[in-house]
Amino acid sequence: MTRKTGLLGGAFNPPHYGHLQSAREVMTALGLERVLFIPSGRHPFKGADVLAPVAHRVAMVRLALEGEPGLDLWEIEAQAPTVSYTIETLAAWHRCHPDEEPVLLLGADILGELHLWRAWQDLLALAHVAVMTRPGFFWDARLPACAYLEHHLVTTGAQLDRNRLGRYGVCQVAVTPLEIASTELRRRLRVGQSVSGLTPEVVGIYAHTHQLFSSQLLE
């Protein structure tokens, strides 16, 4: 069976325990070699007025991943000079790692907007897709993304084997429902409230030291 690597993109503005817990659980459930966190650089849907500078978001992810076996950082989008798109990141992955199968990790909350992504219907030409459960979000066949993805659904994550499927596949992975939102983290950091239990202490200290979310714009 080919080695598989999970790819988890996001703004990570800031990263928190919800990101880490989901990555750990998916890595175990699907037998992934590792999961790479991919902080976005210039985001196609989020302006600079709501994002901490990319260098700081990368630094916070690096701090959050310290001592987390199997979880690592990939800075390809953070270093890109223009807006990054997932389809391009996956193409770059194949150029760098032709012998590994990528597994794109998506939260169920993204299913309602996946059809807005660039070349979204080509994702399965380049990667498996693992949809992680999110509180309050459900698989809905009426959504364009679900209607597309369900044709490639497999019963268990163990079946995400391209050699067996003859193509890339899709699975749903139940993860522990931690209701932690980056929006709430930013609010707490802005008003000086504790973020203990929501994000690693080093991330909170870093964000406070650099006053990353003190602006009212970063809500």
Mean pLDDT by 10 residues, the chain (219 residues): 92 96 97 97 64 95 97 97 94 95 96 95 97 88 93 91 94 91 91 93 95 67
- What integer pLDDT is reported at residue 136 of this predicted model? 82
Alpha carbon distances (Å) from 110 to 22, 143, 144: 15, 11, 12
- What integer pLDDT is reported at residue 45 of this predicted model? 56
Determine phi and psi for 12, rounding to 5 degrees.
Answer: 50, 60
- What integer pLDDT is reported at residue 157 of this predicted model? 86
Give the C-alpha separation, 43 to 68, whole Å.
26
- What integer pLDDT is reported at residue 219 of this predicted model? 44
Cα diameter, the chain: 53
SS3 sequence of 108-122: HHHCCCHHHCCCHHH
Give the C-alpha separation, 90 to 103, whole Å.
10
Give the C-alpha separation, 219 to 213, whole Å.
8
> Using an 8 Å Cβ cutoff, are 185 and 219 in contact?
no
Which superfamily, per CATH, for 4-177? HUPs (3.40.50.620)
**The model's pTM:** 0.94
Beta bridge partners of 39: 10
- What integer pLDDT is reported at residue 44 of this predicted model? 59
Q: Mind giving me the DSSP string for 118-162?
A: TTGGGGGGT-EEEEEPBTTB---TTSHHHHHHGGGB-SSGGG--H
Give the C-alpha separation, 48 to 51, whole Å.
5
Determine how many CB atoms are found less than 10 A away from the CB of residue 169: 22
Which two three-digit tokens encode residue 84? 């990054």
For residue 95, the SS3 value is helix
